[in-house]
Amino acid sequence: MNLSAHPIRKIYQGVADRRQTFRLFDRHAQRPNRFEGDDSALFRGEWFELGKVEHDYMFEILPPLWMRGEMFAMREFLTGSITSIFFELSIDGRIRHFHGYCDLADRGSPERMKAAIIERESRPVRAMTREERLEHIWSATEDAYRGYADKRFAVAQRGERIVMMCASWQKRAFRLLGELDDAEISAKLPVHLRYLPDAIAA
């Protein structure tokens, strides 16, 4: 298995507050068969921005597993060899804080994530890829309005992520997250993110 080939991806736009930060730590909590098998692939490579207060709070919970310059690793592992890495990075002259899930079985993964975050956040024009839009929708949607495809969906679709679409209060239906069209994506995003230009995926 080529661990370094797993995509590094931004899963939330903006700076997550305390409540959202803790939701993002396990945004796959509703997944089917949560405690069966290895769920490392769900988390590996995910990252988002958080505030300094949240960053410092996580540093103080337990002694870090290790510290390397601008980053530290949490001592407790999420699943398998996946753990939280917290970054304090200077980007365009401003100190910002980030959380990412790295696979420590791949020794170079924290440095690659650091480089990916800096590259993504140093772009001169704010833009989002389709994948980033979908990930933000999933991350920002409350648990009651998202889930996983069940017997209402075709067998091949079961287990895929779904979100609720409201045409009206009388008509609500779940749609596969990956099949939302541009209009549906726009409707699910907050206003300040709807009209950002498309970014070309790295």
pLDDT per position as a tens digit, 103-162? 998 889 999 999 999 999 987 667 888 999 999 999 999 998 998 998 888 888 988 999
Sorted by where each begins, the domain ranges of the chain are 3-121, 130-194
Supply angle C-alpha 120, 196, 189, rounded to 5: 100
35-63 average pLDDT score: 87
Distance from the first to the final alpha carbon of the chain: 21
pTM: 0.85
pLDDT of residue 125: 67
pLDDT at 57 over 90: yes
pLDDT of residue 83: 92
27-47 average pLDDT score: 80
* Spatial distance between the Cα atoms of 185 and 68, rounded to a whole number of angstroms: 39
pLDDT per position as a tens digit, 170-192? 556 888 999 999 989 998 898 88
Of residues 161, 6, 160, 159, the one with CA closest to residue 82 = 6
What radius of gyration, in Å, describes the C-alpha atoms of the chain? Answer: 17
Average pLDDT, the chain: 86
pLDDT band (50, 70, 90) for residue 167: low
pLDDT of residue 139: 95
The answer to whether 104 and 180 have CB atoms below 8 angstroms apart is no
pLDDT per position as a tens digit, 65-118? 899 989 999 988 887 789 999 999 999 889 999 999 999 988 899 999 999 999
pLDDT at 36 over 90: no
